């Protein structure tokens, strides 16, 4: 089978997903040169990679770009075209010219998260149009499947569930660099990583930290990533000296170091669909504490890889942190299960096999032959 992947982001998901497909099909991926060229060492060489100059949303070169993109797709003659995210606005204008081929689109977030300034810059109608134009959709959980079917007027059989694959490249980088956990003996490190916007529950975590004064162990809270300034919430902090805050873009090697050194990864989100951070933490064998939003409970509980607490509940989050800080044996057991899950049921190759089954079902419904 010939599968064509096209899109620009999310980068880590795109790499993990493409790597999972590469051993199982003839896969061509058309991706932006500026985002992926430096990441070639982490991309499976069996992938036919077509790196192109991808214009910005407001560029006047977009019509010419879409014409060239469509010519590339027709030259490959795929059995299926898979758009890796529904948030690339201009692709809406090209999809009608791809319709001789089945078009599948991954919807990472059915609705816009509050306070997410990155996606708020794009018109919501563009993401909705891409989902509605596509013959089939992919989401990352059963609850999202129902939500997407309702939101985009799709029959349930046209919305498919594929797990977000494990994000391996940072753990591979840590092994390549020979990284070992560093830090003071007896200190437990709790990591919040990613885009630190309002919906990520930063205030919940800080309020929970203020409830941890009874801890016997030293605890360090590391908050790393782009977004809101945690120091703006300093009045809510119990002990500001507990915090190690790293604002802005985090280079890959620093990501590998952060997860190597972490003892617990927290996802205290007020709202979420799924989280790449969860699938990154698992490859490092780190236990997680997540809130019961989106598909997080359905991922964490059956696999025994962490604790689940209600969203917006600092006291519950503090109890979960306190319990895991005091119980290194439980942390270690959850971490072992997380690593095994990332290497088996959630491995990119496992997700790739499920994707191939989906593609075969989609192509069986193809109405006519591809164009000459």
pLDDT of residue 214: 77
pLDDT of residue 344: 97
According to DSSP, the residues that pair with 50 across neighbouring strands are: 30
According to DSSP, the residues that pair with 104 across neighbouring strands are: 82, 136
pLDDT of residue 217: 75
Looking up tokens 């070992």, which residue turns up? 180
Contact status, residue 189 vs residue 264, Cβ threshold 8 Å: yes
pLDDT at residue 314 is higher than 90: yes
Interacting residues of 279 by C-beta distance below 8 A, sequence separation 6+: 16, 164, 165, 166, 167, 342, 346
pLDDT of residue 74: 95
Domains in the chain: boundaries: 2-165+347-363, 169-343
Same fold, 2-165+347-363 and 169-343: yes
Give tens-digit pLDDT for 21-33. 999 999 999 999 9
Give tens-digit pLDDT for 114-169. 655 555 556 788 899 999 999 999 999 999 999 999 999 999 999 999 999 999 99
pLDDT of residue 272: 87
pLDDT of residue 250: 97
pLDDT at residue 82 is higher than 60: yes
121 vs 201 pLDDT, higher one: 201
CATH superfamily name and code, 169-343: Glycogen Phosphorylase B; (3.40.50.2000)
In CATH, the architecture of 2-165+347-363 is: 3-Layer(aba) Sandwich (3.40)
Instruction: Report the share of the chain in percent with pLDDT over 90.
Output: 85
Band of residue 77 on the pLDDT scale cut at 50, 70, 90: very high
> Which one, of 367, 358, 371, 372, lies nearest residue 1 by Cα?
358
pLDDT of residue 193: 98
CA angle 327, 331, 335 (to 5 degrees): 170
Helices (H), the chain: 11-21, 33-36, 62-76, 91-94, 117-120, 124-133, 142-151, 169-176, 202-209, 252-261, 276-281, 296-303, 314-325, 328-343, 348-363
Burial tier of 236 (Cβ tally within 10 Å: 0-12, 13-18, 19+): middle
Give tens-digit pLDDT for 223-278. 999 999 999 999 999 999 999 999 999 999 999 999 999 999 999 999 988 999 99
pLDDT of residue 99: 82
pLDDT of residue 143: 93
Mean pLDDT of the chain: 93
pLDDT of residue 113: 64
pLDDT at residue 297 is higher than 90: yes
Task: Measure the CA–CA gap between 217 and 198, rounded to whole angstroms.
Answer: 29
Predicted TM-score of the model (pTM): 0.93
> Which one, of 282, 265, 260, lies nearest residue 344 by Cα?
282
């Amino acid at each position: 089978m010939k599968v064509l992947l096209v899109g620009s982001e999310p980068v880590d998901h795109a790499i993990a997903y493409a790597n999972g497909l590469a051993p199982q099909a003839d896969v061509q991926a058309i991706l932006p040169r500026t985002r992926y060229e430096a990441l070639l060492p982490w991309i499976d060489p069996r992938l036919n990679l077509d790196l192109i100059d991808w214009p910005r949303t407001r560029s006047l070169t977009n019509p010419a770009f879409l014409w060239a993109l469509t010519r590339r797709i027709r030259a490959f003659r795929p059995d299926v075209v898979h758009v890796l995210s529904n948030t690339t606005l201009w692709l809406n204008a090209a999809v009608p010219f791809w319709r001789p081929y089945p078009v599948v689109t991954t919807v990472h977030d059915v609705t816009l998260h509050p306070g997410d300034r990155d996606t708020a810059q794009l018109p919501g109608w563009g993401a909705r149009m891409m989902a509605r134009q596509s013959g089939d959709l992919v989401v990352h959980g059963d609850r999202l499947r129902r939500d997407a079917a309702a939101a985009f007027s799709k029959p349930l059989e046209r919305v498919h569930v594929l797990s977000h694959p494990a994000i391996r490249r940072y753990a591979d980088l840590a092994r390549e660099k020979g990284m070992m956990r560093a830090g003071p003996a007896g200190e437990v490190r709790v990591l919040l990583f990613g885009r630190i916007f309002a919906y990520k529950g930063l205030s919940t975590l800080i309020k929970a930290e203020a409830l941890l004064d009874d801890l016997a162990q030293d605890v360090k809270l590391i908050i790393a990533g782009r977004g809101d300034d945690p120091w703006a919430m300093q009045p809510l902090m119990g002990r500001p000296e507990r915090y190690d805050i790293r604002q802005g873009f985090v280079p890959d090697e620093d990501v590998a170091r952060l997860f190597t050194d972490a003892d617990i990864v927290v996802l205290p989100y007020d709202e979420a669909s799924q989280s790449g951070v969860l699938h990154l933490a698992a490859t490092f064998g780190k236990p997680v504490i997540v809130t019961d939003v989106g598909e997080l409970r359905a991922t964490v509980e059956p696999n025994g890889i962490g604790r689940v607490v209600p969203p917006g509940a600092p006291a519950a989050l503090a109890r979960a942190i306190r319990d895991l800080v005091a119980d290194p044996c439980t942390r270690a057991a959850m971490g072992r299960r997380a690593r095994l899950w990332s290497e088996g049921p959630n491995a990119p190759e496992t997700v790739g096999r499920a994707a191939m089954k989906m593609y075969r079902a989609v192509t069986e419904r193809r109405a006519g032959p591809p164009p000459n």
